[in-house]
Amino acid sequence: MKLSNEKKKIIGLVSVGLGISYISFPNIYYHIGILAWGCLIPILIVIGNYTEYRKRLWLCWLFFQLFFLCLFWMNPFEYYERYETLWMIIILIIFYSIFPIIFALIVSLFNPKKPWQSLVIVPSIWGVMEFVQTIFPVGFPLSLAISQYDNPMLIQLARWTGIYGVSVLLLVNNIGIALWILVKKKRYLYLSISLIILNLLIGIYYIVQKPDTKNVKPYTFILIQPNIKWREAYYSFENNYLYKHILSSLTRIAKIATATLKEGVVVFPELTISDFKSTNQELQRTIKAITDQRYHMVIGARHEGKNAVFSFSPQANMLSKYKKNKLVPMFENNETKDTKFNDPLFLYSNKIQLGTFICYESLFPSIARIQTRKGANLLGGVSFNTWLGNTNWAMLHMAYLPFRSVENNRYAFFLNNNGPSIMCDEKGRVIEKITLGKKGFMIVECPLINNKTVYTRLGDIFVIGLVGLIILSTIIALKQGSRKRIMIKNELIQ
């Protein structure tokens, strides 16, 4: 069967759009984030040629469904244990099916004949949608903005708007250029160029500023990526062979990492110890060997059925603990939230207040913001993504960290068991990293910063503004529609 020229054009544009969009987002193969400023233009051009909403919705759904399957693909047979409950299967099905529909419902509102709706309402709804995902999470809350995680110059807007402002700006730019191509009016191109220049100027302004850290002592952090095998951690229980093997490997890599240092903070990722009991003598010996009367230690562990992070003094005394509060829907149905231990961890006699978030929690701006408002002068996320295998998931997860840095003006680290792990400065610049699938460590000097951003102080006022804009536009549209109906009715009567 021979394809018509129209179908060939659609297939070509959708294919180009999928390729550009995939490369735009963090992935294990090749990433060019700058392409995200135009990655949706092909699908917008396709749907812009159709007046019928259902047709636009169908094409958008096809595009986003294929995009999700490509970007979030993981081998379903690699770690069969992750499907140990029906809920795990259900949440994955929901994620792979519902999110493409939601994205399609919003983007298909794009209509070249309605520029206000396309340029203002569609991006506003998108920004609100991203925010709602963090309030009522049903999976991995994907944000357009994470495509820019390695472009610090382009994400400084997040100091005011949070991550949502960057996403909205990305979508406005895509829509503006698409409108220019479809309706041949240069004002849309000029608008897109102006917004990009304005965003760059904001970025330059903040990037060139130097933090007031002249009289502030930087603290040394030794971030260890142990790359513990998933099944090794999964079947590790108190005093069995795997448990002892993990403890001995932690001691070895810590000794290597701290060999040239007199002091510092040794950090291990989430679930490094999957059966943590403070009374266990083998564990006590390991903690003493690692701290060695010189080093503080932060370690992720499974404690009393909860996901936790502990801080220890150089004398191996427990100083503070944090327990996971934002649970993965359905995956962690058997757990309960812990509201008692959710303050920053303290080290060096409370001089360091480490705002902590565990795995899934790094995706939610409010958690890092609340920790900062509680006094955190440094942010740290720990994770154990090994069960996801060698996929894009870990890369996408890591990409949220620079935004937590920029939103709160803090040095921050994301330490994942099998990588990637990164350290960012307060401007979101990646200053150190360990790649995916490697065992290793990084040593970084972290100054403590106490200045707060507009976003930290005021929260999601940008999203409130978007909601107000949507409501106002809806009221105006309803009034205009009512006037048109009255005019038509009067004409018919006459």
Q: Are strands 264-267 and 219-225 parallel, antiparallel or unpaired?
A: parallel
Mean pLDDT of the chain: 91
pLDDT reported for residue 492? 63
The string of pLDDT tens digits covering residues 192-219 is: 999 999 999 999 999 999 876 666 789 9
* Contact present, 38 and 169 (Cβ < 8 Å): no
Partners of 164 in the β-ladder: none
Which whole number is the average pLDDT over 48-69?
Answer: 94
Confidence of residue 328 (pLDDT cuts 50, 70, 90): confident
* Contact present, 384 and 359 (Cβ < 8 Å): yes
pLDDT reported for residue 1? 58
pLDDT reported for residue 84? 59
Least confident of 27-36, 243-252, 320-329, 343-352: 320-329
Confidence of residue 490 (pLDDT cuts 50, 70, 90): low
Confidence of residue 311 (pLDDT cuts 50, 70, 90): very high
Confidence of residue 231 (pLDDT cuts 50, 70, 90): confident
Confidence of residue 488 (pLDDT cuts 50, 70, 90): low
The string of pLDDT tens digits covering residues 241-255 is: 999 999 999 999 999
* Contact present, 159 and 206 (Cβ < 8 Å): yes
> The whole model's pTM is what?
0.94
Confidence of residue 491 (pLDDT cuts 50, 70, 90): low
Here the tokens at position 35 are 């392409």
Which whole number is the average pLDDT over 143-170?
Answer: 97
The string of pLDDT tens digits covering residues 74-106 is: 876 665 555 556 767 777 788 888 899 999 999
Q: Which residues contact 198 (CB under 8 A, 6 or more apart)?
A: none
CA distances from 406 to 98, 126, 256, 434 (A): 30, 21, 32, 21
* Contact present, 177 and 190 (Cβ < 8 Å): no
The string of pLDDT tens digits covering residues 403-433 is: 999 999 999 999 999 999 999 999 999 999 9
